[in-house]
Amino acid sequence: MLTAAKNQLKVTKLSIKYAVMREMLNKTTFVSNIIFMILNNACMIIQWIVLFSLKDNVGGYTFQQILLLWGMSSGVYGVAHFFFDKAFSLANTINSGKLDAYIVQPKNVLLSAITSNVKVSAIGDIIFAFVMYFIYGFNITTFILYILFLITGGLILVAVSIIFNSLSFWFNNTDMVSDTVNSLMVNFSTYPEGIFKGITKILLFTIIPVGIANYIPIKIITEFNIYLFIINISVCLLLILISFIIFYKGLKKYSSSNLMSARI
Amino acid sequence: MRKYAFIIKTQVMSNLQYVFNLIFNYISYFIILFIFFNIWQYIYSDSTNLINGYNLNQMTWYVVITEIIWMTLNGRKFCIQISNDVKSGNITYNINKPYNYIGYVLSTHLGDILIRIGIYSILGVLTGFLFLGRFPDLNIFSVIIVIITIFLALIISTLLITFIGLFSFFIEDSGPFYWVYSKLILVFGTMFPIEFFPSIIQKILNFSPVYVVSYGPAKLFVDFSWNNAISIIIAQLIYLAIAYLMCYLLYKKGVKKINVNGG
């Protein structure tokens, strides 16, 4: 069991390594993608400078905390899209019959499918996340927590995406649903929860778990709370488990489309 | 011009097949509008307050209009399409055709836009009404002027994005340039009116694309005046000519770099 997990990790690592090498063939594009993504994220800080010139705090967040939220949000997105970019287009892989290539491999189908590509610009998101953290203030404990939450947040984002993308095994055109859920997760994650009320707030901690992936970590980093910490880790593990169950349940329904293609 | 009109017509007919997809895509934009409505409600603790000359009602409608323009444009996809045309060599299929490439991409994108602007305008205005319970004070003439400025804004944006996309002749992926361009338009013209920035930045923004592609039409919608309307339309016409010329020159320079290897 342990050897199998170790082997799988090795394959996943190699898969990501070769995907990065592929992207690095054109170094100018590789570097410009990263730099421009950092600039792209930095542009949005202007929005908060304007809003904080109108009010001292927005949704209960100070400017420093907003920067940390932005960092967390881009870092979570970066981790999810750098390591597991294909999880966000899994519905397309299923619908077009491209899953065949992964089924014939003697490794975990889901992991092989979602780690077969990397999004270079996501490196820019991760760098931006750390820049925001250092502006907020460095402390060894919060730094370790921050890295941990970037990983748990990224995994939550990926798990939610797998769950909704896996609906493609049963229904048609579910890519629109999964795209919408993904964009909801990203859009809500960059705004403090204090501006939302009632049902929206409940949704942010349930169906669209932005609250667990982004808001709770900010609360923990600001003021450590063991219960919130346990909630974050447990929900992350639970969602990963659910995503695997749903994907493999759906995989039994999968039928090949006899698509002939070469993966280079 | 007839050939370009035919391209627009063909594209409109093709897009009519995907009306449901467009309506479904609106959900993401509805959420953005919802987030902004919540932010402005939070900032305007009293809805009758004026911040930089705008009340809550005007601010919400401002964002609704700029977002309608933004979502209609779907610039990211359009930029990728042009960039891919250049990278994949598909652009060579257009060289020997009896039309100008810039005119061709402008026509195809206008064909895409025509359906989207209709659907998103209806849904956007309904969303604004749902949030606020009232429309801004407008008469038939001001509505016509706003529609004209929105169309001019869309054409100018299309040309500016074409210009960015054509950068792929020189660097492989022009996408990153579009990210920064789009974020600047988003932050300086879509989320806030120009009046929300310091006076020195306002002066720069008044001469920037932000003024013609985003701020102008929305400003007229929430606070119409004939003086503003005339200056916005004149600025748009100047930008239209400059943007077309820039695209034309860049295409002319870039097309010389094409190597046709057969296949």
Contacts with B173 from chain A: Cβ below 8 Å: 29, 32-33
Assign A165 a pLDDT band (cuts: 50, 70, 90). very high
Residue B160 corresponds to which tokens in the numbers above? 């500016």
pLDDT exceeds 90 at position A200: no
Q: For residue B7, what are its two tokens? A: 């391209």
Q: For residue A70, what pLDDT is reported? A: 93
Q: Taking CB atoms and an 8 Å limit, are B24 and A188 in contact across chains?
A: no
Residue B47 clears pLDDT 70, i.e. is over it: no
Find, among A39, A73, A70, the residue nearest to B184 by Cα: A39
B55-106 confidence digits (pLDDT tens): 889 999 999 999 999 989 888 888 888 888 888 878 887 777 777 888 888 8
> Is A14 inside a domain boundary?
yes
Residue A22's pLDDT is what?
82
Domain assignment of residue A92, yes or no: yes
Q: How confident is the model at residue A261 (pLDDT cuts 50, 70, 90)?
A: low
More reliable by pLDDT, B99 or B39: B39
Task: Decide if B42 and A29 are in contact by the 8 Å CB cutoff.
Answer: no
Task: For A26, name the nearest residue in chain B, comparing CA atoms only.
Answer: B172
B180–A43 CB contact, under 8 Å:
yes
Confidence of residue B124 (pLDDT cuts 50, 70, 90): very high
pLDDT, residue B214, reads 94
Q: Kindly tell me if the per-residue pLDDT of A244 is higher than 80.
A: yes
Task: Tell me what the mean pLDDT of segment A223-241 comes to.
Answer: 94
pLDDT bracket for residue A28 (50, 70, 90): confident
**Pick from A44, A194, A196: which is nearest to B183 by CB?**
A44
Interface contact A225, partner B, CB < 8 A: no
User: What percentage of chain B exceeds 70 in pLDDT?
Assistant: 98
Structure tokens, B186: 């988003």
Q: Exposed (0-12), middle (13-18) or buried (19+): which is B57, by Cβ within 10 Å?
A: buried
Look at residue B244 in the predicted model and tell me its pLDDT.
93
Q: Confirm if B179 and B38 have CB atoms less than 8 A apart.
A: no
| Better pLDDT: B171 or B79 | B79
Q: DSSP secondary structure string, B35-95?
A: HHHHHHHHH-SSTT--BTTB-HHHHHHHHHHHHHHHHHH-HHHHHHHHHHHHHHSTTHHHH
Residue B164 has pLDDT above 70, yes or no: yes
Q: Is the pLDDT of residue B42 over 60?
A: yes
Q: Which residues pair with B51 in a beta bridge?
A: B54
Residue A231 falls within a domain, yes or no?
yes
Cβ proximity of B29 and B126 under 8 Å: no
**Amino acid identity for residue A207 in this structure:** I
Q: List the domain range (segments joined by +) for residue A87.
A: 10-251
For residues A163 and B74, the model is more confident at A163
Query: Does residue A236 fall inside a structural domain?
Result: yes
Question: With an 8 Å Cβ cutoff, are A59 and B42 in contact?
Answer: yes
- Which chain B residue is nearest to residue A184, measuring alpha carbons? B28
Lowest mean pLDDT among A2-6, A24-28, A256-260, B250-254: A256-260
More confidently predicted of B219 and B95: B219
pLDDT in tens, A105-125: 777 889 888 988 888 889 999
- For chain A, what percent of residues have pLDDT higher than 70? 96
pLDDT given for residue A259 in this prediction: 62
- On chain B, the residues whose CB falls within 8 A of the CB of A55 are 42-43
B17-43 burial, b for 16+ CB within 10 Å, e for fewer?
Answer: eeeeebeebbbbbbbbbbbbbbbbbbb
pLDDT at B66: 94
Place A79 in a pLDDT band, splitting at 50, 70 and 90: very high
Q: Within a domain: residue A151?
A: yes
Q: Is B173 on the interface with A (CB under 8 A)?
A: yes
A207 reaches B (C-beta below 8 A): no
Residue of B nearest to A189 (CA): B35
Q: Looking at beta carbons, which residues of chain A come within 8 Å of B34?
A: 200
Whether residue B31 lies within 8 A of chain A, CB to CB, comes out as yes
What ipTM, to 2 d.p.?
0.81
User: What distances in angstroms separate CA A213 from CA A205, A238, B87, B144, B212, one per listed residue?
Assistant: 9, 13, 37, 46, 39
Task: Note whether A114 and A90 are within 8 A (CB).
Answer: yes
Considering only residues B2 and A4, tell me which one the structure prediction assigns the higher pLDDT: B2
**Averaged pLDDT for residues A163-174:** 87
Residue with tokens 């929105």: B150
pLDDT of residue B27: 85
pLDDT at B22 over 60: yes
- List of chain B residues whose C-beta atoms are within 8 Å of the C-beta of residue A33: 173, 175-176
- A259, with CB counted inside 10 A (0-12, 13-18, 19+), is exposed
pLDDT average, residue stretch B229-250:
94
The rounded mean pLDDT for chain A is 88
Give this prediction's pTM.
Answer: 0.84
Cβ–Cβ below 8 Å for B28 and A184: yes
C-alpha B171: how far from its chain's center? 24
pLDDT recorded at residue A257 = 67
Confidence of residue A144 (pLDDT cuts 50, 70, 90): very high
| Average pLDDT of the segment spanning B150-163 | 94
Q: Which residues of A touch B172 (CB under 8 A)?
A: 26, 28-29
Residue count of chain A, please give it.
Answer: 264
